[in-house]
Chains A and B, each alone.
Chain A
Amino acid sequence: MSAEIRAATDVGGTFTDLVYFSVDPETGAQRIVTAKTDTTPPDFERGVLNVIAKSGAPVDEIAFLAHGTTVVINALTERKGVKTGLITTEGFRDSLEIARGNRPDYFNLHYVKPAPFVPRHLRREVPGRIAHHGGERAPLDLRGLPKILDDFRAEGVEAVAICLLHSYANPNHERAVLDKVTELWPEAAAVASHQITREWREYERTSTAVLSAYVQPVAERYLGRLADGVRGGGFGGQLYIMQSNCGVDSVDRTKEIPITMVESGPASGFWGAAELGRLLGDPNVLALDIGGTTAKCSLIEGGHVKIISDYWIERSRRSAGYPIQVPVVDLVEIGNGGGSIAWVDDFGKLHVGPQSAGAQPGPAAYGRGGTEPTTTDANLALGRINRDYFAGGEIDADMDAVDRALGELADKLGVDRADAARGIVRIANNNMINALKLISLNRGYDPRDFTLVAFGGGGGMHAVALAAELGIRKVVIPRAADVFSAWGMLMSDLRRDYFVTRLFGLNAGNAERLDGLIDEVTETAAAQFRREGIERDRIRFLRYGNLRYENQEHGVEVPLRDGATVDEITEAFHDAYEREYTYRLEAPVEFVGVHLVAIAEVGKLTPVPLAPTGRTLDDAVKGRRAVDYATEGVHDADVYDGDLLEPGMAFEGPAVVETKGSTTVVHPENAVTVDDYGNLVIEL
């Protein structure tokens, strides 16, 4: 009997990664294999087949293949979607471009609003009105639609987005427009807002529909070729696509609404962190993913990864950005990764990021012409990264280029090179600390109540320093931290989140209404799963209510337990509100909407402890070198080969743990143990 293989592939801008686990059917022992090849645009499926071949995994024995891709976010940020037309309710075609009218960069006399993805002449209107309660106020009039579509065709439009007022309350008009568009113009991609979101706020919903339509043909082509490609290559198992809500979904479903993949990259890592926390008995986790260009973090409380629908791309202090109302893991992202460039501004202030040296030219140490110092260069100069084992030994670190780049920066700052390198590390750490504060303190959580789980290529490099600053006592660096996101994918269930707005007073008189709403949304979810062959008894439902005091705008999400009375829900709301906002009121409470999570297990991995080989800690020692800890001075650190560490081993800092894909910097007086699964547990 052959081993059962579960694999995850992750297509990034530069590399296509693969991780697979094979489970020995007799011993239950798991073997983990990783491989990396170049990404192969535009035939991305080729890279996926290449990486499977390179890993040596027998394609026909892969039972479960999860796939994560940045195709959607790339198409959005690089503006590589298709020409899109928009159909709105009469009188409101400009909602998309007026947006919310805000001007976040408010001392900028030359503020420029984010340009709409659909220009005004491709935004067209149809008469008809649904009221806020879902009733029809004026009938839909589609007589003008053929002309609109003719104009769209003439303009080279390839995708049509539809968003009508109050379609979250009653999608009938929107559905009628969609049906007619599909009938009259079957070749065009078309999407109506209610297919993606059932929440109010017309600008946000319109933007969601537009961005979804804009990427739909691109994503459909991608997924179609991927599925055909792997099947053609002999794959006969189940193919799932990673979503932004920490779940996976089928290829067919994802093709319909591909925008749900928009933040799938970070989502799998955060899900992995939550699963790891559960496995280790640490349900409160601050998860930090440090990659080449960005650092992302998310807060997991009680094993619960927060999924929200208030998601924006390209939003910053300087720009209003674009909303996408899809279920996305609640995260904070900053432009601060290994490749982030350090620079000095007009005030003589040192900054790190958000510009990144990327893969080309990359950090100065790559020796590919990069002249500006990056965080990676600083870490090399300080001995934190091994200059003789750079990028797992695949690149000869160009230390002369590093010295030159740091020298120029040091001159601008009026300090020496070592101080400049320490400065870069301190500023980079400070940026990440601020991101971790945003996700914790600014939302009413104390980081000291959490375990920091850090992963990605740079996670282990900075985690201990960040934890020390925030008062966190325990850091976990997962085994194979550089491909931890892929591990997270293998831990994911088929999951869908449904957010539905329905405003009413939370009182005994509305108890039936609440039950009715929950039943309605549950039935919608169950029906959708049923059509895909998943029966109700395999689905686990989690239900949350979005509640607020009357006439407030933003609410608090409260679990709706089976059989909970209105009084119990109200009490839970008061408690949750006070915890988050510090005070409670006697005011009436409103129910704003339901958030239903439907989960079906589709064969995720069950992690098992590593079997010891009898190696000793000494076997794992690679040597000793001087490491500059920036604020804690220079210390001689023991260097360990991370691949040779085994459960039960323990040592103390100062130390460095190296694997092919990542480096963990252990500070003086840290106590490190290797847990049963091969993770590094660092106590501060």
Chain B
Amino acid sequence: MTAVRTLDPITTEIVRSAFSAAADEMNATLIRSAYTPIIYEMKDCSVALLDADHRVLGQSAGLPIFLGNLEICTRLTEEMYGREGWQPGDVWIMNDSYLTGTHLNDMTVFGPIFVDDELVGFAACRAHWLDVGAKDPGGPMDSTEIYQEGIRLGPMKVVDGGVQRRDVADLLGRNSRFSYPAVGDLGAQIACVRTGQRRLEAIIAKYGKETIDAARDEIFAQTERFERAAVAAIPDGVYRAEGSLDNDGNGTDPCWVRLTVEIRGDEMTIDLTETDDAKHGPVNCGEAQAISACRVAYKLLINPGNPPNGGAFRPLTVEVRRGSMLGAEEPYPCQWYFTPLGLLIDLVVKALADVLPDQAAGASYGDSMVIGITGIDHRNGRPWLDLEPTVGGWGAWRGSDGEDGLINNVNGSLKDLPIEVLETKFPMRMTEYAFRTDSGGAGRWRGGNGIVREYTIDCPEAQLFLWFERSVTPAWGLAGGGDATPPVVVVNPNTGHERRMLKASRVALVRGDVIRTMTGGGGGFGEPRERDPEDVRRDVRNRHVTPEAARDVYGVE
């Protein structure tokens, strides 16, 4: 072992704070300057500051599902182009699903950082672009190959020696249905990377490389010690869980995610190899994202309180099978890469629920529940696209009801679209946005309720896209708590032409059509009959629970 310069704990703490402030500033730069609401409103983005060995110094994630998978991009680029491929002033871009793990909409932009001609680290960010030229606006719901999902980039330079490459920006702009947002978001991401570069340079200039390295090593070691202790506290054993998606978007067969979690001493292995083979519909993801999802689940249970760094996840090993849904290879489609991942996260929690009863919770409603409505705005002749995830119910846990109407677990700071903004921007109106009574799983602690969101079309014609999931495996309860109600989408409810569907593409809509979306609830926790009758009566008064359910399920009149 090399001699480690011991650093006083205060300096270590101040360096840690400097890393995290730098990441926050990168994030602020990205979100401030992003063009598309998906980035600044829905926070579908992530930033990281890495050291020269691709380890996280500071991360600021908008989406939890982007936890710890920016470093893979710099690592893979280095594998392809060598260490000498990194040159001062360069910024790179890539989006290949099989490399980054995610869908093609997510552009990862990154650049090396040099101090005195020495490579000291990287700044990286990822953001969801509105449109990357897939066969359908925004991205398809029924793609069968990745080539239908848009332009696909391996690592390439977008800034060369400090000069932005116009040809690359031009290429990206031309390949998007909405070129201003594409070019605007590219500008925001480059600005974000430059901020990270400047900040790390400043931190090193201030404290000196030696101090920074010593602080980094100590920070990583602290995190690793803490996590190993938390894993070691879990009884050794092999724990299993499985669940299925409704289908892959094209076929009708369920898609199984199967996993085992093995705890041995202070090590945790999540084995995903028994998960189904890759699908011909877009529910696959690259290995990098499967690992990220396991990290999210691990973090929820092991170390939720601290921002991640390069010392995190060292006790965790993830086994992915190449060619499976979670380790997709060319040409399998990846547009809805996160759908199996939301399930995966809940399944890891379920597998460990018996041995971590205080950390666990009933399952959540499960997926982003996306509605897309698109068309030509008859008022100005221009194309429009509303693409929204929908909130739902979360699982209850020992001591508390689950939350009603909250965004799903692969999302975080994502905010819903205000009705007043929606009605101003798009030729449609909303006729209801409300909690969905009785949709949460019953329990001593009740699962959260999903919501109802109802749209009415106000233009001559439009098209509907839907991606609603988890009707086959709705949110399950724990410790005797009940399962939740699955999602339902009805077009033109209570009319002669009522239609029910969960996943759909290009459904023709005309003026006056009504789309009523209903998301599922979260799982309950504990026996419903043990619920405090006062809580049941309060739920009835608030119509979170109907009097009938109070009587039949809870035994409260």
Q: B9 near A200 (CB under 8 angstroms)?
A: no
Which of A107, A427, A441 is B13 in contact with, Cβ under 8 Å? A427
Q: A437 near B421 (CB under 8 angstroms)?
A: no
Using Cβ atoms and an 8 Å threshold, which residues of chain B touch A348?
Answer: 9, 222
Taking A434-B21, A442-B25 as contacts, is the C-beta distance between A553 and B10 under 8 angstroms? Answer: no
Residue of B nearest to A168 (CB): B420
Q: B222 near A551 (CB under 8 angstroms)?
A: no
Q: A107 near B9 (CB under 8 angstroms)?
A: no
B residues lining the A interface (CB < 8 Å) = 8-10, 13-14, 16-17, 21, 24-25, 28-29, 32-33, 35, 37, 40-41, 61, 63-64, 180-181, 183-184, 187-188, 191, 222-223, 226, 296, 299-301, 304, 306, 349, 359-361, 391, 394, 397, 400, 403-407, 411-416, 418-421, 423-425, 429-435, 451, 454, 541-544
Which of B64, B403, B406, B433 is A91 in contact with, Cβ under 8 Å? B433
Residue of B nearest to A419 (CB): B8
Distance in angstroms between the alpha carbons of A659 and B31 in the assembled complex:
44
Which of A98, A121, A419, A552 is B35 in contact with, Cβ under 8 Å? A552
Distance in angstroms between the alpha carbons of A95 and B361 in the assembled complex:
26
28 contacts between A and B (CB under 8 A): A91-B434, A91-B454, A93-B434, A97-B404, A99-B405, A101-B391, A102-B413, A111-B406, A113-B406, A119-B542, A131-B423, A168-B420, A413-B9, A419-B8, A419-B10, A427-B10, A427-B14, A430-B17, A437-B21, A437-B25, A438-B24, A443-B28, A549-B180, A549-B184, A580-B32, A581-B33, A581-B188, A585-B180
Q: A583 near B191 (CB under 8 angstroms)?
A: yes
Using Cβ atoms and an 8 Å threshold, which residues of chain B touch A301?
Answer: none
Using Cβ atoms and an 8 Å threshold, which residues of chain A touch B301?
Answer: 109
Using Cβ atoms and an 8 Å threshold, which residues of chain A touch B21?
Answer: 434, 437
Q: A108 near B414 (CB under 8 angstroms)?
A: no
Contact digits for A314-358, partner B, Cβ 8 Å, 1 yes 0 no: 000000000000000000000000000000001111100000000
Using Cβ atoms and an 8 Å threshold, which residues of chain A touch B403?
Answer: 111-113
Using Cβ atoms and an 8 Å threshold, which residues of chain B touch A550?
Answer: 180
Using Cβ atoms and an 8 Å threshold, which residues of chain B touch A112?
Answer: 400, 403
Distance in angstroms between the alpha carbons of A385 and B178 in the assembled complex:
60
Q: B28 near A94 (CB under 8 angstroms)?
A: no
Q: B435 near A102 (CB under 8 angstroms)?
A: no
Q: B304 near A109 (CB under 8 angstroms)?
A: yes
Q: How large is the interface on A (under 10, 10 to 19, 20 to 34, 35 or more residues)?
A: 35 or more
Which of A103, A553, A554 is B412 in contact with, Cβ under 8 Å? A103
Closest 6 CB pairs of A and B: A106-B412, A583-B187, A101-B391, A581-B33, A120-B542, A100-B415
Which of A94, A168, A201, A415 is B433 in contact with, Cβ under 8 Å? A94
Q: A102 near B9 (CB under 8 angstroms)?
A: no
A128 interface residue per 8 A CB criterion: no
Q: A200 near B542 (CB under 8 angstroms)?
A: no
Using Cβ atoms and an 8 Å threshold, which residues of chain A touch B33?
Answer: 580-583
Q: B407 near A94 (CB under 8 angstroms)?
A: no
Residue of A nearest to B17 (CB): A430
- Majority-rule SS of A interface residues: loop
Least CB distance, B525 to chain A, in whole angstroms? 11
Distance in angstroms between the alpha carbons of A442 and B22 in the assembled complex:
10
Q: A100 near B191 (CB under 8 angstroms)?
A: no
Least CB distance, A557 to chain B, in whole angstroms? 14
Using Cβ atoms and an 8 Å threshold, which residues of chain A touch B37?
Answer: 551-553
Q: A98 near B433 (CB under 8 angstroms)?
A: yes
Distance in angstroms between the alpha carbons of A205 and B474 in the assembled complex:
34
State which residues 580-607 of A face B: CB under 8 Å.
580-583, 585-587
Distance in angstroms between the alpha carbons of A277 and B397 in the assembled complex:
54
Residue of A nearest to B395 (CB): A109
Q: B418 near A202 (CB under 8 angstroms)?
A: yes
State which residues 253-301 of A face B: CB under 8 Å.
none
Residue of B nearest to A318 (CB): B305
Distance in angstroms between the alpha carbons of A419 and B8 in the assembled complex:
9
Least CB distance, A440 to chain B, in whole angstroms? 10
State which residues 525-550 of A face B: CB under 8 Å.
549-550
Q: A553 near B32 (CB under 8 angstroms)?
A: no
Q: B349 near A109 (CB under 8 angstroms)?
A: yes
A165 interface residue per 8 A CB criterion: yes
Residue of B nearest to A99 (CB): B405
Using Cβ atoms and an 8 Å threshold, which residues of chain A touch B188?
Answer: 581-583
Q: B400 near A110 (CB under 8 angstroms)?
A: yes
Using Cβ atoms and an 8 Å threshold, which residues of chain A touch B412?
Answer: 102-104, 106
Using Cβ atoms and an 8 Å threshold, which residues of chain B touch A549?
Answer: 35, 180, 184
Q: Which residue among B296, B405, B412, B419 has the maximum number of chain A CB atoms within 10 Å of its CB?
A: B419
Distance in angstroms between the alpha carbons of A271 and B57 in the assembled complex:
39
A203 interface residue per 8 A CB criterion: yes
Distance in angstroms between the alpha carbons of A554 and B418 in the assembled complex:
13
A414 interface residue per 8 A CB criterion: yes
Q: A92 near B10 (CB under 8 angstroms)?
A: no
Q: B406 near A101 (CB under 8 angstroms)?
A: yes
Using Cβ atoms and an 8 Å threshold, which residues of chain A touch B360?
Answer: 109
Using Cβ atoms and an 8 Å threshold, which residues of chain A touch B8?
Answer: 415, 419, 423
Taking A583-B184, A585-B183 as contacts, is the C-beta distance between A108 and B304 under 8 angstroms? Answer: yes
Taking A93-B434, A97-B435, A347-B226 as contacts, is the C-beta distance between A581 and B543 under 8 angstroms? Answer: no
Least CB distance, B300 to chain A, in whole angstroms? 5
Least CB distance, A295 to chain B, in whole angstroms? 15
